[in-house]
A and B are shown apart, each in its own frame.
Chain A
Amino acid sequence: MKGVSAMWQRHPAQFALGLSALTIAGLLMMLSDAALCKSVGFVLSALPSLMTAYNYRKHRRP
């Protein structure tokens, strides 16, 4: 396996914590008033869910 799946299997705890760090960093970033921080923060916080949804669809049998 390669890429995300390899990380998920070889280092599951670190992988889960890494995704969590993305979400939390994004949500903290959104506390700022700057529009750029709000946008980047939102993307970061939604990224784990989007990545999961993308991979779920990719591996779904037709």
Chain B
Amino acid sequence: MLRRSPDVSGKPATGGDRRPSATRFTASRTFRIGLWLHRWSGLVAAPFFLVLCLTGTVLIFHEEIDEWAGWEPAVETTDAPLLPLATLTAGALAREPGKHIVAVALDEDHPEHVTVNLAAPGIRTIAVAAPVLLDARSGAYLPRPDPRTTPLGILLRLHANWFLGLPGQLAGGVVALLVTICLISGVVVYGPYVRGLAFGAIRRGRGEALRQRDLHNLIGVATLGWTLLVSVTGIALALGGVGILAWQATELQRLVRSHAPAPAGGANGDTRAPSVSLDAVRAAAEAARPGWRTTLMIFPDTALSTDRHYTVLLAGPSGLQKRLFEVALVDARDARVAEVARLPWYLTVVRLSQPLHFGDYGSWPLKILWCALSWAALFITGNGAWLWWTRGRSRRTSPMPADPV
């Protein structure tokens, strides 16, 4: 079956415009499948992608908004030395009697801030623990709302998992996959629509549909790389939750088996009451990987540690290594490092996807570029849907051939 050529120049074909090959291509099965995929993957993903673009645009500036709104305590610059972690955690426990520590997070950018995650007895996951922010110089409690309950925290949950936890995260991955399919199929089919048109030219005065289509193609090509990168990294991040579950079920289980505790009965048999100080654990982990810094210390007997070991996440010293983790298992009884394990490849991919998805690694210029490209992606999503919505009317009122979407 032959389709009408989507050549939209409106001019008669000339000998040099290679029109016969364009007609052959638009009649081909590849073109028709590509057009169908572009249209329907785009339309199905559009409403969700609009929400993701809007929330993502706000989240780009989360640090600035948090600071401006006072949701993140201001950093005071003093020369006072940092207190030992043991002192800080003891102070946090004293504030919340009856609770236990699940994890302690250190902030490389703000070493004077230490977050202690406290939970009620029986709770073993960081996700449901209450974060308490402490001033590492004075030990003072720094009041701030739970990051998950601030407006930006709520936006982040909407963006990351639609308030649905892991199923919502996977649904977000499906949206990102649809966007990726839409982009790739768009590359396949857009050629015939720009035949005879200079790069950057927009046809005006010949109908709004034609003008919007030219804009769709032009902006689509200009932003393709960024949109592809953000979509593909979005798929990787959506699979991050599954990746952690897989790590827990495989690698963590292997570590538990390899370093199973000796039969209880010794003086230090109760591993839930660690007998070495947190600072000794940190020092041991960092000594095992010189140059790497502790970012998170997960206490023994949680969902991400063994009954007897701290799980210490170490971040690399520079470059790409800064984005990666190695996992040190440190014995809670004698601060001996049982093993330093690398992240499996799938979690490495997830880690590397984070900066490339959030655009938070190039200061203000990159944030502004990220924001501009988000709005451009938002525009072509909206105008693509509009082109599809008005295509029947365009056909009736104009002699132009079919719309691309």
Do A and B share a complex?
yes
Q: How far is the CA of A4 from the CA of B323 in the complex (A)?
A: 37
Contact of A32 among B200, B319, B356 (CB under 8 A): B319
B225 & A59 in contact (Cβ 8 Å cutoff): no
- Contact present for B221 and A15 (CB under 8 Å): yes
Chain B contacts of A51 at CB under 8 A? 222
Chain B interface size band reads 35 or more
How many chain A residues touch B (CB < 8 A): the figure is 40
User: Contacting A45 at CB < 8 Å: which of B198, B318, B323, B369?
Assistant: B369
- Cross-chain contact B365 with A42 (CB below 8 angstroms): yes
* Chain B binding surface, main DSSP class: helix
**A-binding residues in B (CB < 8 A):** 187-188, 190-191, 194-202, 204, 218-219, 221-226, 228-229, 318-320, 322-323, 355-356, 361-362, 365-366, 369, 372-373, 376
- Most B C-beta atoms less than 10 A away, residue of A16, A24, A58, A59: A16
B226: contacting residue among A4, A7, A23, CB under 8 A: A23
Q: Is the CB of A30 within 8 A of B366?
A: yes
| B200 in complex: contacting residue of A17, A24, A55, CB < 8 Å | A55
The dominant DSSP class at the A interface is: helix
Residues of A within 8 A of B (CB): 1, 4-5, 7-9, 12-13, 15-17, 19-24, 27-28, 30-33, 38, 41-42, 45-46, 48-49, 51-52, 54-61
Complex interface: chain A residues within 8 A of B219 (CB): 52
**What are 29 pairs between A and B in contact, CB < 8 Å?**
A1-B198, A5-B198, A5-B199, A9-B194, A12-B191, A12-B194, A15-B221, A16-B221, A19-B221, A19-B225, A21-B225, A23-B224, A24-B225, A24-B229, A27-B229, A28-B356, A31-B320, A31-B355, A45-B226, A48-B222, A49-B222, A49-B223, A49-B376, A52-B199, A52-B219, A56-B200, A56-B202, A58-B200, A61-B204
